[in-house]
Amino acid sequence: MVTTVTSYTDARNQALVGQGFDGVVRVSIDNFYGTGVLLYGGAAVLTAAHLFNSSTSSARVLFETASGTTTVSSRQVLVHTAYDASGGNNDLALVWLAAPAPAAAQRYSLYRGADEVGQAFDLVGYGVPGLGATGTVTGYTGNPVRLKATNIFDAGIETVKNALGSAVGWSPAAGTQLVADFDNGQTAQDAFDRLINRPDLGTGQTEGLISRGDSGGPAFVQGKLAGIASYTSNLSFGSIRPDINNMLDSSFGEIAAWQRVSYYQQWIDQSLRGQYTNAPKTPAEVQKTVPEGNSGTVTTYFLLQFNGTRSSPNHLISVDYSTRDGTAKAGTDYLAASGTLVLYPNESQALIPIEILGDTVSEPDETFFLDVFNPQGASFGEGVVKLTAMRTILNDDAGIFA
């Protein structure tokens, strides 16, 4: 997990089942592991590219949810083609699941704003535990535990590089990484105050930092996925050495970097879209009824199409969306979903996947809705503020209804 101010046995540091973090998973590759996060649609996990090497094409994903502990194998792994280990750049990979993710695991939408710096976030992971005062536990042999902490994004990595120059011994790409330091409330360990004049004494007793095994783990801003854990460093500049023990062990005064999800949203969205299973390509192919199945989940797709003219080739169009109950109920008949769909350059349409829950209960056909609203970069037409589509879940279990 992350190293924390207090012991990892402190309840404040434990990401227990049912607390909203059950979509944070352990990703195992050969004899080692990292962390990952289940994305919207439930088909793939986002994690760090550096967990994989050129000969690795599979992984095992462990879920801990209210329905128990489940391991799902991967069917495909996509490492970002521009991954640059020396610069910590493009350190992202997608792991598609060979079987449906547990319905009890949260699916997370992306944080798409560019205002992450200065915001508090939750970090969650399965890495080696430890204390900020002393660093990670040496020789820890216990089972990986999913823990949590908080922190604040202090800057983009380019701000640090521009200020410190060669003291940052790698070449991060501007705009692609967010950084935070591990504070203990003391100015001596406030790394970004002392190094780049960004004072912040931290979030108190819940503060933490990533450690070994947290690679690929999420940083959540306002409940949405804003960062993917990438690396740590104990930066110094001349006589300024904020690290409390001068060892790279995730202790007070060190810093960590997360891949900035808002920067990579197009790569994430379009990579997921390219792997949608049995997805419609035209409005005529959209299935407005869907059999529920007997277990697990099946996916139904809503198609959004733009028929206007963009003001420029690079003009982005987006809408917000949210499911809404009809006779079908979220959590029982389908998984509630909400988020933002973006149409990127050269895209005139895109799909919104919603998962239907299978069961063997005999019941009537049921309906639910998807509302699309808040268009940006385009409009629905004069006076139209919301579009709504309906899906019917077909009963495929034996039974007679009067």
Residues 45 and 157 in one domain: yes
Domain range for 232: 3-267
Kindly report the CATH number assigned to the domain that includes residue 196.
Answer: 2.40.10.120
Q: Which of 202, 233, 267 is the last residue of a domain?
A: 267
Using an 8 Å Cβ cutoff, are 212 and 231 in contact?
no
Query: What's the pLDDT tens digit per position in 186-235?
Result: 999 999 999 999 999 999 999 999 999 999 999 999 999 999 999 999 99
pLDDT score, position 284: 96
Q: Flag whether 239 is in a domain.
A: yes
Kindly report the CATH number assigned to the domain that includes residue 324.
Answer: 2.60.40.2030
Give Rg (Cα) of the chain.
22
In degrees and rounded to multiples of 5, residue 12 shows phi and psi of -65, -20
Residues 218 and 282 in one domain: no
Average pLDDT estimate for 153-165: 98
Q: Flag whether 291 is in a domain.
A: yes
H or E element, residue 125: strand 120-125
Residues 259 and 282 in one domain: no
CA distance 13 to 146: 9
CB neighbour list of residue 251: distance below 8 Å, 6 or more residues apart = 3, 130, 131, 132, 133, 134, 135, 182, 243, 244, 245
pLDDT score, position 173: 97
pLDDT score, position 351: 98
pLDDT score, position 54: 75
Residues 283 and 260 in one domain: no
Lowest mean pLDDT of 32-41, 138-147, 236-245, 338-347, name the range: 138-147
pLDDT score, position 315: 87
Q: Flag whether 402 is in a domain.
A: no
Structure confidence at residue 308 as a pLDDT band (50, 70, 90): confident
Residues 340 and 221 in one domain: no
Residues 13 and 123 in one domain: yes
Q: Considering Cα of 373, then 110, then 6, then 152, what sign does the dihedral take?
A: negative
Query: What's the pLDDT tens digit per position in 257-284?
Result: 999 999 999 999 999 999 999 999 999 9
pLDDT score, position 399: 46
pLDDT score, position 392: 98
Using an 8 Å Cβ cutoff, are 126 and 87 in contact?
no
pLDDT score, position 42: 97
Average pLDDT estimate for 19-44: 96
Q: Flag whether 128 is in a domain.
A: yes
Structure confidence at residue 372 as a pLDDT band (50, 70, 90): very high
Residues 16 and 138 in one domain: yes
157: DSSP letter: H
Residues 257 and 364 in one domain: no
Residues 186 and 297 in one domain: no
Q: Which of 236, 267, 298 is the last residue of a domain?
A: 267
Which residues, listed in sequence order, are joined to residue 214 by a DSSP beta bridge? none
Q: Flag whether 401 is in a domain.
A: no
Q: Which of 267, 289, 308 is the last residue of a domain?
A: 267
Residues 219 and 249 in one domain: yes
Structure confidence at residue 311 as a pLDDT band (50, 70, 90): confident
Structure confidence at residue 397 as a pLDDT band (50, 70, 90): low
Q: Flag whether 272 is in a domain.
A: no
pLDDT score, position 312: 79
pLDDT score, position 221: 98
pLDDT score, position 342: 98
Residues 233 and 282 in one domain: no
Q: Flag whether 399 is in a domain.
A: no
pLDDT above 50 (res 400) = no
Query: What's the pLDDT tens digit per position in 138-152?
Result: 888 888 999 999 999
Q: How far is CA 219 from CA 53, 157, 286, 290, in A?
A: 24, 16, 35, 35
**DSSP per-residue codes, 212-229:** TT-TT-EEEETTEEEEEE
Q: Flag whether 273 is in a domain.
A: no
One-letter amino acid of 111: Y
Report the domain count for the chain: 2
Residues 300 and 154 in one domain: no
Average per-residue pLDDT for the chain: 94
pLDDT above 50 (res 394) = yes
